[in-house]
Amino acid sequence: MIATLALFALAASPAEERFLATEVIDVVRVPGPLVAKPEAAGLYLPPATRMWLAPQRTVRLPDRDANEALDVLGAPRALEVRAFRDDNDLALVLEWRDETEDRGSSAETDRFGDAAAVELPLAFGPGVRLPYVGMGDDGAPVALYLQRAVEHGTLGRELVAAGFGSSTRTAASSVRAAMRYDAAKRSWRAMLVIPLVTPERDLRAGLVPIGFALWDGAHRERGGNKALSSWKVLRMPGQRVDDRYLTELAWGFDGKGDVLRGKQLIDTVCGACHRAGDKRSAPVGLAPPLDDMGLVATPSYLRDSVMAPSAVVVPGKGWSVRAADGTRTSVMPPFAALPAADLDAIVAYLRTLGVPAVTSKAEGTTP
Ligand code: HEC
306 lines ligand 1 (CB under 6 A): yes
Give residue 233's Cα distance to chain centre: 10
**Measured between alpha carbons, how far is 304 from 133 in angstroms, rounded to an integer?**
14
335 lines ligand 1 (CB under 6 A): yes
Side-chain-side CA neighbours of residue 181 (13 Å): 19
305 lines ligand 1 (CB under 6 A): yes
In 3D space, the residue among 351, 366, 360, 244 whose CA is nearest the CA of residue 297 turns out to be: 351
Write down the pLDDT at residue 364: 41
302 lines ligand 1 (CB under 6 A): yes
Write down the pLDDT at residue 294: 95
Using one digit for the tens of pLDDT, what is the confidence trace for 81-91?
Answer: 999 999 999 99
Write down the pLDDT at residue 363: 41
104 lines ligand 1 (CB under 6 A): no
Spell out the residues 6+ positions from residue 326 whose beta carbon is closer than 8 angstroms to its own: 138
Instruction: With beta carbons less than 8 A apart as the criterion, state whether 214 and 119 touch.
Output: no
The closest residue, in CA terms, to atom 43 on ligand 1 is 332
Sign of CA dihedral 257, 341, 265, 231: negative
Write down the pLDDT at residue 317: 86
298 lines ligand 1 (CB under 6 A): no
Write down the pLDDT at residue 75: 77
**Measured between alpha carbons, how far is 287 from 218 in angstroms, rounded to an integer?**
29
Atom of ligand 1 nearest to the CA of 313: 17
Q: How far is the CA of 334 from the centre of ligand 1 (A)?
A: 9
Q: How many residues comprise the chain?
A: 367
Instruction: With beta carbons less than 8 A apart as the criterion, state whether 117 and 146 touch.
Output: yes
Write down the pLDDT at residue 147: 94
Residue spans of the chain under pLDDT 50: 1, 3, 6, 359-367
Write down the pLDDT at residue 103: 96
288 lines ligand 1 (CB under 6 A): yes
Write down the pLDDT at residue 82: 94
Write down the pLDDT at residue 10: 55
Write down the pLDDT at residue 43: 56
The closest residue, in CA terms, to atom 23 on ligand 1 is 305
Write down the pLDDT at residue 11: 65
